[in-house]
Structure 1
């Protein structure tokens, strides 16, 4: 299923996307994630029964599929080979002097207040250094929680997938010698447009991540190019803390970000950024 959170007539609803229409359903996305197979079966029954009339997608305002995550979004840094080299060579890497490719996963977080809807305006004006950059990423949503999850069992804990744009102030990221400040400006994590359940993605490594700025393709890579794959990431995080239903893990970005160019190509007001991963859809936002 493709879950979609949307607003129509001033009311926020949950729905299932079918083609170009949204079938409204009764339920809370966090409760459905935590409810596991039984909760999904209930939603499937609602859709099959036709208990609510479908609404044209064009008639609704699409929101982030999880508007306010219960915890910070977990993120993985330097997790595509080419991007690790690109970032290391950019002059913005605060870990300069170390190897370009990390030996172990680099984990940081983005606050829930960074989450923004598809179609919303990325508030680039909040960055006092005017060094706003894009990072298209596949995000994993945890279903069954747990601690000490082994790689061999990790995918059993995945509820589904969405897209995030890990928008970043590069100068703040470098200035503070860590990544939290530069990545946590309000509205710096557009998410969506859908949350696709894991059964819709039989081979996550086959997914293709494409990011375009003003129609120009900047990023284009297969998820199979991750340095640390999804099972490794889940094992790493859960080794020291309990993952909970609804936790979101952004798996990292590929080469082609703004600082990979000489000179850097930072986002400007009026730019349009579109991140595409099918079957999740297209996450598109303008810059303000």
Structure 2
């Protein structure tokens, strides 16, 4: 099932893709006098369903639900109330090489915060008073569906609710001015995510998905999640060994080569992202995530 967080009058609602259109599951539940999640966070954090599509199927079985074209939907950030936004850096050998970074011995972790969450067709207001070097990082994002700790690699995917397209948007000047680069990752809107949560049953192997990025229609990244240094199972097991994971937590898994930071030209000659640019991130089977810069 492909699920979405929708912006509706009065707040948020849970949406689902059905025959190429979007149905408002929250509204359908009210129409059917059936319990339904209020939004994506409610579904993942409160329903505790290992297969989130089961709830959607219950709501759809009677039919007769109003739907809209996908292009007409107003998407919200895929989740809005995660406890944690965990990110992995330098998780593709070619990306580490293009930035002159040694291959890590363990997944390098950093965090974003809730203020950074953004949505499909959203805007990113560039913090130009503190930086001018803005960059894209298309990434596979894991959304957790269960509370867990000390998960084995063999069982790691069982705690996943689903997968999504993400953009670990970065301000490279802030990222590189100190050894702690979270400052370059934490600005408002710097974590676009969506438009869909594709449930784990629809993604049998997350480490075999084509990943691409376009800037103003020009292809910039074209890789595959099979090229990760630490695959999804390893990352989940590693993170869950450090801390307790809660339902609704999200994990950015790293970006492949092709970022502006890795261009083999002098830094002051690189064509950093600027206001007016459009960045489109795509992952096989998960759709496209678009943002505009202003």
TM-score, length of structure 2 as denominator length: 0.89
Does 2:72 match 1:59?
yes
Distance of 1:62 and 1:29 partners within structure 2: 11
Q: Distance in 2 between matches of 1:45 and 1:136?
A: 34
Aligned residue pairs, count: 277
Question: How far did residue 51 of structure 1 move?
Answer: 5.6
Equivalent runs, 1:53-132 vs 2, <5 Å: 53-66=66-79, 68-88=80-100, 100-126=102-128, 128-132=130-134
Q: CA deviation at 1:42?
A: 2.4
Taking a change above 3 Å as real, the CA distance of residues 245 and 259 of structure 1, as seen in their structure-2 partners, is same
Q: C-alpha deviations, 1:175-199, integer Å up to 9, x for none?
A: 1221211100111111111110000
In structure 2, what is the Cα distance between the partners aligned to 1:78 and 1:265? Answer: 22
SS in 2 for 1:102: coil
Match of 2:2 in 1: 2
Matched, 1:29 2:40: yes
Contact 1:259–1:265 under 8 Å retained in 2: no
Any gaps of 5 or more consecutive residues in structure 2?
27-36
**Aligned counterpart, 1:274:** 280
Q: Structure 1 residue 59: deviation in Å? A: 2.3
Partner of 1:154: 156
Provide the residue aligned with 2:61 in structure 1.
Answer: 48
Range that drifts further, 121-130 or 245-254: 121-130
Residue 163 (structure 1) shift? 1.2
Q: Which runs of 5+ in 1 are unaligned?
A: 89-98
Instruction: Tell me the C-alpha RMSD between the 2 structures.
Output: 1.6
User: 4+ residue runs of structure 1 moved beyond 3 angstroms?
Assistant: 8-11, 37-40
Deviations 1:121-166 (CA, angstroms, capped at 9, x unpaired): 1111445221111100000011122111111110111110011111
Cα drift, residue 10 of structure 1: 5.7
Following the alignment from structure 2 to structure 1, what is the Cα–Cα distance between the partners of residues 291 and 10? Answer: 21
Q: Tell me, yes or no, if the aligned pair for 2:82 and 2:250 is still in contact at 8 Å.
A: no
1:106 is displaced (CA, Å) by 0.3
Q: Aligned partners of 2:81, 2:87: CA distance in 1, in Å?
A: 14
Q: Could you tell me which residue of structure 1 aligns to residue 236 of structure 2? A: 234
Paired position in structure 2 for 1:96:
none
Task: Tell me, yes or no, if the aligned pair for 1:23 and 1:47 is still in contact at 8 Å.
Answer: no
Equivalents in 1 of 2:249, 2:176: separation in Å? 27
Shift of 1:8: 4.1
| 100-109 vs 7-16, which moves further | 7-16
| d(CA) in 2 for partners of 1:166, 1:127 | 20
**Partner residue of 2:293?**
287
Check whether the contact 1:167–1:183 (CA below 8 A) recurs between aligned residues: yes
Q: Is the CA contact 2:50–2:146 (under 8 Å) kept in the aligned structure 1? A: no
2:17 is the counterpart of 1:17: yes
Alignment match, 1:210: 212
1:195–1:264: structure 2 CA closer, same or farther, 3 Å change rule? same
TM-score, normalised relative to structure 1? 0.91
